[in-house]
Amino acid sequence: MNWSEFFNMGGYAFFVWTSYAITFAVIVANIIFPIVQRKNVIARIKRSIKREQIELNKDSA
Amino acid sequence: MWHWIQRFSSPKHFYVMSAPLITWFSVSALLIGAYGLYLGLFVAPTDYQQGESYRIIFIHVPAAWMSMFVYMVMAVSSGIGIIWQIRLADMVAAASAPIGASFAFIALVTGSLWGKPMWGAYWVWDARLTSELILLFLYLGYMALQSAIEDQRSADKASGLLAIVGVVNIPIIHYSVEWWNTLHQGATVAKFDKPSMHIDMLIPLLLMAVAFKLFYAAVVLVRARNEALYRDRNRRWVRELVERL
């Protein structure tokens, strides 16, 4: 089997490769979103820690 | 026993213990998935009826299985969260919903792209397709309830109840091909008889199913860890941990 035959998928190229492409995209999104979410959660907690420390310093001053 | 469960289901303990598992699950999902794809796309023989179009099966069927498996995980952990008030269970349930929705979406879209050349239509209001679409809506409903309710405990209770009630849809999906006249083909693997499928097709299919399951395991851990950090954001263990990052 040569490559052009492989990509042609017996005439079903559009259906087979669109299926695989969409699946790949959804899987990549499922990897990226949680990583971004983790960064956002950590940044948010860091911000609130900083805010509290400023408040604490104000109170003690 | 109870004490042991309490200790091991503490979000802090979970956060620490789950870190190395993520690497193992991701690497094995990648390796098994790559091998499964190789066998499925290059080695498995052409189907005598469907030609090459059947190769969609190697993602369609594992995604459909996973959409139901993840739903069961979500419903059972919601139940554990509601009955025994184990917070980790609620986190796992909330972390599972977007992944399960993704699998249901993949199953529907690839099924649609498979249906067009085989049945002549992208979509028919058939029992199997409709019940799978309802599964996607159940996931979306769970996620909507989670984000709509401010108080976390109420959000977990409301969305958890939806998840548990929605379990009724799972046997409907599975048996839909037997109970109703449907375009969708019957079970070829998950049945008591031996699978009616050529071994060279069955092996890549099962490998892809294992790879999808490992992928879910990795992603659900990452997401549940995010939930643990966020929900415990005012507790000391998270504060100490975040300051070190």
Question: In which band, very low, low, confident or very high, does the pLDDT at B4 lie, cut at 50, 70 and 90?
Answer: confident
Is A28 among the domain residues?
Answer: yes
- What's the pLDDT at B9? 84
Is A54 among the domain residues?
Answer: yes
pTM, two decimals, is 0.93
Instruction: Indicate the number of domains in chain A.
Output: 1
Element (H, E) at B145: helix B127-148
CA–CA separation, B68 vs B101, rounded Å?
10
Q: Which residue ranges of chain A lie beneath pLDDT 70?
A: 1, 61
Task: Round the average pLDDT of chain B to a whole number and report it.
Answer: 93
Q: Are B45 and B122 in contact (CB under 8 A)?
A: no
Domain that includes residue B75, residue range: 28-181+195-244
DSSP string, B162-178: HHHHGGGHHHHHHHHHH
| Contacting A residues, span 17-46, partner chain B, CB-CB under 8 Å | 18-20, 22-23, 26-27, 29-31, 33-35, 37-38, 41-42, 44-46
Is B9 among the domain residues?
Answer: no
Secondary structure, 3-state, B47-60: ECCCEHHHHHHHHH
Instruction: Indicate the number of domains in chain B.
Output: 1
Mutate to test the interface with A, among B22, B42, B61, B106 (most CBs of A within 10 A): B106
Question: In which band, very low, low, confident or very high, does the pLDDT at B184 lie, cut at 50, 70 and 90?
Answer: confident
The pLDDT tens digits of the residues spanning B70-90 come to 999 999 999 999 999 999 999
The pLDDT tens digits of the residues spanning B229-239 come to 999 999 999 99
Q: Which of chain A's residues have a Cβ under 8 Å away from the Cβ of B245?
A: 42
Complex confidence, ipTM? 0.91
Task: Round the average pLDDT of chain A to a whole number and report it.
Answer: 92
